[in-house]
Amino acid sequence: MIKKFFGTDGIRGRVGDAPITAEFMLKLGWASGKVFSKEGRGLILIGKDTRVSGYMFESALEAGLASAGVDVALLGPMPTPAIAYLTRTFNASAGIVISASHNAYHDNGVKFFSGAGAKLDDDVELAIENELESDMQMVASDQIGKVSRINDAAGRYIEFCKSCFPSQSNLRGIKIALDCAHGATYHIAPNVLRELGASVIERGTEPDGFNINAEGGSTKPELLQKLVLAEGADLGIALDGDGDRVIMVDSEGEVVDGDELLFIIANAEHRSKRLSGGVVGTQMSNFGLEEALGEKNIPFVRAAVGDRYVLAELDKRNWVFGGESSGHLLCLNVTTTGDGIISALQVLAAMLEFDSSLGELKAGMKKYPQHMVNVACQKKIDLGSQGAVTEAVAQTEKKLGGRGRVLLRRSGTEPVVRVMVEGEDAAIVASLTEELARVVSGELG
């Protein structure tokens, strides 16, 4: 069945436009409460990022869940992966995240975690959508759910993050520039790094409800690059608004993206003979990652774009490492979902284990120039049926001469079509991408 509301990463959109309204969130809380309470009263956790609309949607979801007879525990502003972790540790029936990840403040959405701290299966999402079609009926007054607040949620998660770093190591003597994008990690990441001994220069840790992802974070690392150079930091760490993505910057001010970070983590495990299996990337993963892993005889496969597809491929093969160029990395040997802080700690642990800088560790992978343009697209359309687009793609591939890739895909989180070209020459790649994007834009009107 085709889902009406759930996309590749929950339900997301512009605040005030259906379905991202208080009325819908009330009924979504009720519908999800009905589904998760079928095996008993249950407990559902609710966390959020720092968007101003989070207060409104938190209250609406809380009311809907309570009206379905489910107990609720509020976490306040917390990273998405923290909610996955706390859902497990509190033996909750589910966890709900109010966030639009790396999007601007005027967007928001809802993501769910199962009691095991994993993304919901399709059948559970479909069950929730089926309940949304029903009339909302409140339980009897003596069965209404109770609501409480977990006041030590941040401290619990900080300790968990620290436990994912080698106990015999510390970060003393390492200077880290940190950008939290005024998002959900603003009160978590600085404390994790400082408590492990690092000297931290922070930015993006003063959320006001409107500045989340506005300037900086993992999608805009330019300010972090400048901060690393200005402060003479050993490296920089940039997180996105909900804390499930990470991009790093080396001491020379060069960006180290998700593909390179995934290579560093997997290669460290390989060098230490701890790696079991291979690595899962996506259609967007740089060919340089595949090539570098191949030189180490580390298997590599590509999944569709989206962490749920990467996770499905990892589960299928019983592997533990995978991720996306955006910095959404999965380290299933330590946690169940993408976690920017924990991924960064795995890279820092590799630096200490091999007494190498971030720049030295990434040098083992040569990135192929890759250029991407987002073309606005408000409607769903089959690009393969557009003759001009098909011809333009064929011409682009011909010009690459078999030494590159072309990829067109509709984003699962934004109303855009991503046009990507990869090849050996950066200037040619950029030019071909712009040409192809103009054709796609013309066809989309």
- Return d(Cα 357, Cα 252) in angstroms, integer: 10
Strands (E), 265-383: 279-282, 300-303, 321-323, 329-331, 370-376
- Relative to beta strand 43-48, strand 147-149 is unpaired
Q: How far is the first Cα of the chain from the last one, in angstroms, to the nearest whole number?
A: 30
**Contact predicate 313/303, CB 8 Å:** yes
Catalytic residues: 101
Per DSSP, what are the bridge partners of residue 376?
Answer: 416
Residue 218: both structure tokens together: 């993992």
Name the residue type at position 193.
Answer: L
3-state class percentages of the chain: helix first, strand second, coil last, to nearest 5? 40, 20, 40
Of 284, 222, 294, whose CA–CA distance to 258 is shortest?
284
Hey, is 163 helix, strand or coil? helix
In angstroms, what CA-CA distances link 153 with 19, 239, 342?
29, 20, 17
Query: Computed from CA positions of residues 99, 100, 104, 107, in that sequence, does the dihedral angle turn out positive or negative?
Result: negative
Hey, is 206 helix, strand or coil? coil
- Return d(Cα 350, Cα 114) in angstroms, integer: 31
Per DSSP, what are the bridge partners of residue 236?
Answer: 177, 249
The conformation of residue 236, written as its DSSP 8-state character, comes to E
- Return d(Cα 341, Cα 79) in angstroms, integer: 9
Of 25, 16, 87, 35, whose CA–CA distance to 62 is shortest?
25
Identify whether 19 is preceded by a cis peptide bond (ω within 30 of 0). yes
- Return d(Cα 220, Cα 197) in angstroms, integer: 27
- Return d(Cα 110, Cα 261) in angstroms, integer: 28
**Contact predicate 338/81, CB 8 Å:** yes
- Return d(Cα 2, Cα 438) in angstroms, integer: 31
